[in-house]
Amino acid sequence: MPPTKLSDQEIKAGIAQLSSGWSMVNAKLHKSFKFGDFVEAFGFMTKVAIVSEKLDHHPELFNVYNRVTIDLTTHDASGISSLDLELAKRIDAL
């Protein structure tokens, strides 16, 4: 059974459970990270990739030098699902 899209209220409650910096941007969970340099940023992206693969749920990653931007959405649900919130929690744990 494919994941289902969460209501706006469920999304807001989920964001409140995450570390600061997560928000809704263009109907996606969004957060930007800043690191000391490119290698540190790329190392973080590698860790995110490993966590994502284990969940079989893949983020949109964007990197410029020491900055990484992550957007989460569930295409099968046409919006944010519980998978996105779970992946955000795991990213926070990194």
Q: Could you tell me if residue 91 is inside a domain?
A: no
CATH number at residue 23: 3.30.1360.20
pLDDT recorded at residue 70 = 98
Q: Domain for residue 44, yes or no? A: yes
Tell me which residue range forms the domain holding 22.
8-78
pLDDT confidence of residue 1 = 77
Q: Is 37 helix (H, G, I), strand (E, B) or coil?
A: coil
Q: Which residues of the chain fall below pLDDT 50?
A: none
- How many domains in the chain? 1
Which pLDDT does position 54 carry in this prediction?
97
Q: Is residue 28 part of a domain?
A: yes
SS3 state of residue 83? helix
The reply to whether 86 falls in a domain is: no
Listed in sequence order, the residues at least 6 apart from 83 whose beta carbon sits closer than 8 Å to its beta carbon are: 3, 55, 57, 74
Per-residue pLDDT, 2: 80
Q: Is the pTM of this model over 0.85?
A: yes
* Contact of 81 with 4, CB cutoff 8 Å: yes
